[in-house]
Each structure stands twice: as C-alpha cells, then as structure tokens.
Structure 1
Amino acid sequence: MVRCLSENTSSGIFVSESLSSSQSIPVRRDTVVAFLGSAPRGPVGIPVTISGIDEFLQRFGVPGHDGALLKILRQFFANGGKNATVVRVCSSARRHHMVFPGPSGVLTLEAINPGPFELLRASIDYDGILSTDFDRFNLVIHRLTSRVSPIIEQQEVYHGLSVDVADPDYIGYALLGSELVSIKDRIPEQRPDITFCHDIEIGASYVYGDQEWAETGHLTDYDLIGCNTEGTGLFALDQEPFVDIICPVADERDLGPVALFTAERYCRKRNAIMLLDPPADWQSVRSAIRQARKSGFMSPNVVSYFPRPINSNQQPDSLIGALAGTLVSSDARVGVWGMHEEAQLRMQGCVQLPYDLNVEEQQALKRVGINSLRITKLPHFELSGLVTLNQGYGCTAEWDKLCQRRTALFILENIARGSQWAAFQKNDSETWSELHDQVQRYLHDLFTAGALFGAKAADAGYVICDRKTNSGDTPTDELGISFIVGFTLRGQGMLSFRFHQQPVECRIQALRIEDPVALTG
C-alpha cells in the first residue's frame, strides 16, 4: 500500500462548525483580519492563517524578496496583531514542471502553486520494489527555499506507486492529496526511469523545475477581485466563517474603481470593514477633500486617512497593517465596542509624513469621513477622527463613527452565524421559540458586557420571531426563517434589522424604528 509521508507545519486552514440552538452566541471572539496581495510563492486563492512573520516567510516568502504584503504584515504584528488570514493573488497562472522520461513516454508533474519562486525538485527510485514488479516505483518531492540555498522546507514521500490504473496505489489517485504537485497530461503505461544525473555519483539525483523565469506585470483590479464562482481573489474569503477587517494590498499603484466598488460590496455582504490607504493624488487637504467628493466613493464599511506616509525614496507608503493590528489589539483589550473611550488610535512604526495637519485641517477631513494621521513622537503616531467614509455624504448618520459601525457589524455577523442552524429546521413555533431565546440571551450578554445600552437589559434590545415575521418571504413549509432584532448602541437610538436566514446565506435588511413592520413583522 502506498504511503505518503508529508513533513510540513500546519496548513493554516481550519474547519469551523456552526452553533446549535442550545449553544450561546459568544460575546467575545478574535477579530479576523484578511490581507489580499501578491507574494513570491505559496498557495493561491486559499486563505491561510499565520501567527507571525516567520510563518509567512515559510509559506509565502523568498529570501531577498520583500514586497508590500510582507511590509504590511510586519506592521500588523508589531502593533498587536495576533493572527492574519493571508490570500495570495498573482497575475500569472504559470507553474513549474518536472519531466521524468520512461520507456513509454514521460511523466510530467506540475507545481500546485504558481510562480517562478515555487521551487520544487523530485526523484524517482525503485528501492524496496520487487525485481518482478515492473509497475511500481517510489517518488520523493521537495519544496525548496531558493536555488541559491536549497534548504528543504517541505517533503512528500510516496512508496510503492503504480502506473496501473486498476491498482489501489495508482499514482493518479495518490497525488490527488499532494500539497506540492499534480499530474500534467497523460500518465505513461510503463513506470518512469530512475532519476539519474551524470555528475552525481553518490546520493540521490533530482529533477528540478523549469529554469528560473521572471513573472511580469503588476496585479490588476481583476487579479485582486478574482472570480466568485471559482472562489479566487477576494472571493477566496468565502471559505472563512468570519471576516471582520479586509486589507487589499496593491503592488505599486492605487486600487482602481473596479476593485474598490467590488471590495466594498463584498464587505457589505460579509459585515466587514475595509481599510484603504489614500490615493496617491491626494497631495493636500484641499485635494483630498475635493477628490473624495468627486469620486463618489462612499461607504460606512470603508476607513481611510490622510496624509499618506512616504518611504525613504519619497514614494507613497502604506499604513493599513499598523491600523489593522491596533484595532485587533484594542478589540482584545476592551471589545469592539470599547474603542469609543479612545479619542485616537496610537500606533508605532518608522514612517515619514509629508507634513503635519493642524486642528482646522483635521476637522475639515473628519467632516468628509477622512481620518487624520500625525506623528506624536517617533516611532509613535496616531489616527484621529475615527470615522468611516459614510461621514458627510447624507447616508445613515448612525454609521459615521467607526466604533458604532464596527460594533453593529460585529453583532449582526454573530447573530447571522449563530442562528444558522434555524435555516435547517422546520419553520414552526418550536423553532421560533428556540431562535428567539438564543438571540435574546445574546443581547442580554452584550448588555452585561457593556456593548448595549439601556436602563435595563430589556430596554437594550428585542427579538421578534413568530408567524407574522414568517408570513411573507418564507412560507412555513420551506427551509428558511425570518426574524427581527433591535438593539441600542452608545449614543444611538434603537437600531432594527430583519434577518432572513436561509441554508446558503443570511440576508440582513436595516429597518427604521418607527416603521410598524419592525414591531409587527
């Protein structure tokens, strides 16, 4: 029987289970931050959770190749970030190949991950194979750090593979579970030859991937967005149960309008906040305000700032990693709802700013939803304003403040995920009662934790789930259930939402408190 011995660290991919009706919805959980950008190597279109820079370098890095994503992640961990979800995107699908000749043709292995720095080597031998067994062979595959310093980072060893399609150890079946290679083209009828190099007399011989080639072109909007049906780019995050903060990382240019609007819509769908560096053409407070108004790009789910840092070459730099790490650190200390007690977000890092903002300029930026960045004392700097890009555009005023918006999104997403079980139950009074009790307990726990406000717990929130809320869109004989939830945040009136929980998704609609539908369904 074939055995694969894979030597690797954690894949960074985890499985999450949904809650049941008897389980309480957690009041506190880790803030999930996702970074999308290019990396020299590693899996593409797969969210990978890392807990530090060393782990990122092992999965995605190459010695001597520092990019924007690596720099932003350094900021994130230096400012209190604990776990980062990384999605690698690339502008090319080209992959390395390794070709093994044999009496009936070649066996071609293709790297799972694309890119010129995904360096692999492999070797075939017949050690331990009976001399009368002409179909079997052994295969060893190595993932290397670089060509200059070929340190083995990952290894897969397959003993007793076969080219016989009727054999349980058929190579076509065995390599389906490989994290490194897949089979390219047809599998030959006879086993490949032993790997042999004329200049190696002692030790194993290996076939290496293609000669080094350079990846050309920068990431486009479409590379970052990806495809929702294939789950690539931004839509790879569909594999994650929770995503609270999304940080798209461009190469050397600003995100284009296609990427911005698509990412904003995705954040609305996922109840997430997107952190954006300001465009390079924001050269002054006046131009920042003018360009922000001219673009028409506004959203309560987007946070940006001004001025943008510059690097040692006087080129635009990024700060979203430091901002994300600081938010994660604040959430861990006082909860998402506790940020209102801090007038500024204090961060650290070696940054340069083109100039310092005065008080009047900071107030002018805040009125249009732009936060102000200023250096306090190196290496410390702070972000003030704490507003979303909703500010000043006539949208729902409740979402102008970053703390209130993040708290509401946190609560909405937790309810949507925690009540998922109800979509698979019969839409009857028993399910309504169980769902009502579960969500009501959650609101009570939020009030106790200080996230909701009112004279007493009953004043801080309510839940309606009955025949009236389920008499319209959701027939009682079909899967899916509708309910209404209201809650009060600090400094806000009662916010009400209709949830329509279905097996594939949960749709959330904001309601006006004075709307009778909010009380009667």
Structure 2
Amino acid sequence: MPSALTFPGVYIEEVSSGVRTITGVATSITAFVGRALRGPLDNDPQNQSPVRIHSFADYQRIFGGLWDDSPMSFAVNQYFQNGGSDALIVRVAGANMATASITNNGLTLSAANPGSWGGLVEVTVTLDDGSGGTLPAPFFNLTVHDTDTDLREVYFGLSTSPADARYVQRVLLGSALVRATAVPAAPARPAAAAATLLTVAATADGDAVDATVISAPGLEATRQGIFALERADLFNILVIPPYAPDADVQPADLGGVLSYCARRRAILLVDPPSDVDTIDEAITHANAVGRNINAAFFFPRVSAPNPLHANQLQDFVPSGAVAGVMARTDAARGVWKSAAGTEATLTGVSALTVKLTDLQNGDLNPMGINCLRDFPVYGRVVWGSRTLAGADPLASEWKYLAVRRMALFLEESLYRGTQWVVFEPNDEPLWAQIRLNIGAFLQGLFRQGAFQGKTPKEAYFVKCDSETTTQADIDLGIVNIFVGFAPLKPAEFVVLKLQQIAGDIPT
C-alpha cells in the first residue's frame, strides 16, 4: 500500500510477482591442464591462471600455439576444430624451468613468465624526451618487442622512483612480455641501449611434467595444477592430456582428479595410453581407472596431421576432439542429446589407430567403453556415450553420459538459481515461490524437449511443502526441495523386424 493516502483519487503501486528467473548454466566449458610453450603458470603471482580463451588464435597469442613437447596444445587445437568455443587453460611447469632476463645499470627486466620463448624478446632503452633533448633522471623510455609474434610495447617516461606515477615496476605489471624484477634506487636509471635480446638458458623450458605438478593433494593449498581451477567460476569438462608425447596419464594419477570433478560437477574425459591398442587392454585400463559416474573413456586414439612436421600423420589422444564434439552437440541440440552418432563426426581426424569392427564394438560397449568408429560416407565418428559406470553388469542409473551431464547441468543451475532462498522466512509463501521458480525453469526445458513424457506431469516434478519440510526442519533452519526429472536416454540399439507376406494382402 502507498505510504500515505492524502487525497481522494487513484493510487498505483507495483507489486512484485515473486518470480526469480533461473538461468541454465553453460554445459561445455572445457578445462585443459598441461604443459605449454609460454603463458601464465598455475602459480602466477597475479592469479592470471586459469586463462579463458574462445579460439585457438587466443591460445596461440597467449600460450604460443602448437609445440611438440606439449600434447595439450594439440588437444586444444582439436577441441576448437570440432566445435568447441569456450576453454580454460592451466599451464603447469616441470623442474628446472628458467626465466629469460637482462640487466642494464641495475634494472633487471625478466620475461613475463618462464620458458625459452623469453629469449626471443628484445628490449630497447632510450633517453630522448621527444623534442631533441634528454629526459631528466630517473626517467627513461622502453620498447619491448617479441620477435616471434611481432608484438611491440612502447613505454614513455618510465621512472625508477617508487614515488612517481610511472614507476617502472608498477607499469610493467600490465605488460604481456616483461616484468621489472630489480630496480635501481633513483636517480639511477638504465643506460641508453640498442635492441638487445633477453638472455635465456638452453633448458629454460624445464623438464616434462608429471602427476606431482598436476594432481598431487598438496597442490590444493596453493591452488596449483588442477586446483588452479578453483579460481574459475565454472567448468563442465576436464581434459588432462599426456604429460609429454611419451608420458601417458596413468590410472593411479586420476584418483584425486575424479574426486575434484565430482566436487565441481564436471566430467573427466579419460584417454587410452599409447600402449593400449587391443580390446582386452582397453577393458583393463577402464577397470584400473575405476567405474566412476563422472568419467568417460574413449577408445582408440586418433591420427591427425601435425602442422609442425609437414602435416605428417601423428597419433593423438581423442579427448580434445571429443570435448569439441560435445560442445558442438550442446550448442545444436542441447546437453540432453548424446554427443554420438553419425552427426558426431571428428573434424581434422584422418584415421583411427585401431579400426574397430562391429563385434569388437560389441565387446567394448557393454563394458562402458565408448568407441570411435570409421564408417564409409560418415567418416570418423563418436560411437558411444556411456560413463565409466555404464558397464552393463553395474546396472547404474548413471549409465549414459548424456543423462549424467543433464543431471549435473540441473544441479548447477538450481544451486545458483536458488541462492536467494537463504535467510527467507521458511513458510508456505516461500515454498510456493520455490515451486513457481523451479517449475518455470523445468517447464522451459520441457518445451525444448529435454525430458521424457508427453505432459509436464510425466516429465518432471517439484515438491516443496509441509511434507518435505517438517516443523523440525523449520526449527533447524532447513528447507527441503525435491526435484525429479525423466531423462532422455539414447537409442543405442535400433531393431528392425521384417516379415514376408505370404498369400494375398488382406484389405
């Protein structure tokens, strides 16, 4: 009611409808963790890791593009080739990594992050004030040029005095190429110098990485390795490519990764090691990883051209390409559609390392192993969509990957969309609002064809009332919301029954 009714007439007051729209979260943000040629490390002091990118051009600009010692770079490339559009990159480093640097009269300029790439950065120092004179101390000009990418940064009027607005250490925090790691006391400043490359050790790229820098439990406290993703709001798919071309991720390395995926409502894509090339070896590997509802195993590896070696075919893990197919399917059909079938073609893949037959596929599919197949006309396609808990003997309700991903999508969307409920009066008016808002969200999905059933009543339900939330719950500050949905399940097996008609056809 209006605060004061002072004159006869009509008063207008807007009344809240109580509708708080729940928005579905993204479903195919893919996180990659591995070695890269350049870019912010997982322990970057400015907390720049992970880095969100939207194309392989972004990856090239920030992380240096394809690199033979980085299987992650090829996985990211195949992800975007197959329809991916949103990725998070975590760069990890092995031992003995070094940073390129140069010192001029007490000023030490170091590459923005470690790696041999810093040896391609050159710096130029001038003292020209722009009108033919010389800048007064402690001011100077600096030009930084990346000779590999041709990126050039020019800074005028830098100072070695912390009291100045253009203090070199602060200004260079915004540089993509260098940092000032040591600064002389003013009025000292660097001497004028022609373009000079930073000095870098031959082993600056460091040793190959392993599980100790990616998924070891101790990394969680410092937010390194996969735990750098704690700085990311959301990711749906996790890919950990081989540590190096000849160093595969082993099942023993994935225990902590699977636990982290469950905590973040994400799916881990598991790759076959290079020595897994038979049916029995694939089943053994799947059993070793564990029959987890938040993981999916794809077999075999893929062969694709390597641009670094005159496009000769090279074997790669399939996870990057499969994640791209998932993203493409989500965008075109929705997360409830299995990313498999004749539409799930693997772009940029020339062959598969093992050409499976129908009988071999029939041995692997009931064991929860998703096959990649090579068919005439269709080419290379994803031909399976089960979780690692999808082996028939397990009879898991999370057998199908699309069902599991749909459930994770609903969980995350409802978790975020019901935050407003906290501290609201816990009674029927609140429960009615909850039913209205969640019901509207699920109704929108029903109209998109996300559930089974001909009517909303058959497709989903939302229950939040005095039966779900008793007086004892109210006294404890608890509100219980029950949400059920009828998931769509893929038609894995299509059975056609043909019969001859003997005699006359009845009319």
Match of 1:209 in 2: 198
Paired residue for 2:82, among 74, 79, 82? Answer: 79
Match of 1:260 in 2: 254
CA spacing shift, 1:77–1:470, aligned 2, 3 Å = farther
> Which deviations, in whole Å up to 9, do the C-alpha atoms of 1:420-479 show, x marking residues without a partner?
4445x5564576655443323212212222112345324412143779389669954xxx
Hey, what's the Cα distance between the residues in 2 that align with 1:439 and 1:22?
A: 10
Unaligned runs of 5+ in 2: 1-17, 43-48, 306-311, 491-507
Paired residue for 2:37, among 34, 40, 45? Answer: 40
Match of 1:173 in 2: 170
Hey, what's the Cα distance between the residues in 2 that align with 1:334 and 1:236?
A: 31
Hey, what's the Cα distance between the residues in 2 that align with 1:167 and 1:340?
A: 57
Say which is worse superposed, 78-87 or 430-439, in terms of deviation: 430-439
CA contact (8 A) 1:344 1:384 kept: no
The higher radius of gyration belongs to 2
Match of 1:233 in 2: 225
Report whether the alignment pairs 1:273 with 2:276: no
Count, aligned residues: 449
Hey, what's the Cα distance between the residues in 2 that align with 1:43 and 1:378?
A: 43
CA contact (8 A) 1:275 1:320 kept: yes
Hey, what's the Cα distance between the residues in 2 that align with 1:469 and 1:232?
A: 44
Hey, what's the Cα distance between the residues in 2 that align with 1:463 and 1:394?
A: 33
Hey, what's the Cα distance between the residues in 2 that align with 1:281 and 1:31?
A: 29
CA contact (8 A) 1:474 1:481 kept: no
Hey, what's the Cα distance between the residues in 1 that align with 2:220 and 2:165?
A: 36
> Which deviations, in whole Å up to 9, do the C-alpha atoms of 1:210-261 show, x marking residues without a partner?
1352324211112223722333221222233221111111222211345312
Match of 2:417 in 1: 418
Match of 2:112 in 1: 112
CA contact (8 A) 1:391 1:400 kept: yes
CA contact (8 A) 2:400 2:489 kept: no
Hey, what's the Cα distance between the residues in 1 that align with 2:436 and 2:183?
A: 58
Match of 1:159 in 2: 156
Hey, what's the Cα distance between the residues in 1 that align with 2:315 and 2:68?
A: 19
1:372 is paired with a residue of what secondary structure?
A: strand
CA spacing shift, 1:416–1:259, aligned 2, 3 Å = farther
Hey, what's the Cα distance between the residues in 2 that align with 1:447 and 1:321?
A: 31
Hey, what's the Cα distance between the residues in 2 that align with 1:41 and 1:335?
A: 35
> Which deviations, in whole Å up to 9, do the C-alpha atoms of 1:121-155 show, x marking residues without a partner?
3233222288684222233333331xxxxx52242
Hey, what's the Cα distance between the residues in 1 that align with 2:117 and 2:346?
A: 33
Question: How far apart are 1:401 and its partner, in Å?
Answer: 0.8
Give % identity: 27
TM-score (norm 2): 0.77
CA contact (8 A) 1:470 1:483 kept: no
Report whether the alignment pairs 1:464 with 2:456: no
Paired residue for 1:98, among 95, 102, 117? Answer: 102
Say which is worse superposed, 314-323 or 366-375, in terms of deviation: 314-323
Say which is worse superposed, 226-235 or 36-45, in terms of deviation: 226-235
Say which is worse superposed, 246-255 or 83-92, in terms of deviation: 83-92
Match of 1:218 in 2: 208
Superposed CA RMSD in Å reads 3.5
Match of 1:17 in 2: none
> Which deviations, in whole Å up to 9, do the C-alpha atoms of 1:19-42 show, x marking residues without a partner?
xx9552234746212222222112
> Which deviations, in whole Å up to 9, do the C-alpha atoms of 1:54-85 show, x marking residues without a partner?
33222222687574233223322332223333
Say which is worse superposed, 330-339 or 131-140, in terms of deviation: 131-140
Unaligned runs of 5+ in 1: 1-20, 146-150, 197-204, 493-521
Paired residue for 2:301, among 296, 308, 315? Answer: 308
TM-score (norm 1): 0.75
CA spacing shift, 1:357–1:473, aligned 2, 3 Å = farther
Hey, what's the Cα distance between the residues in 2 that align with 1:40 and 1:378?
A: 38
CA contact (8 A) 2:109 2:180 kept: yes
Hey, what's the Cα distance between the residues in 2 that align with 1:341 and 1:356?
A: 17
Hey, what's the Cα distance between the residues in 2 that align with 1:217 and 1:291?
A: 27
CA spacing shift, 1:465–1:172, aligned 2, 3 Å = farther
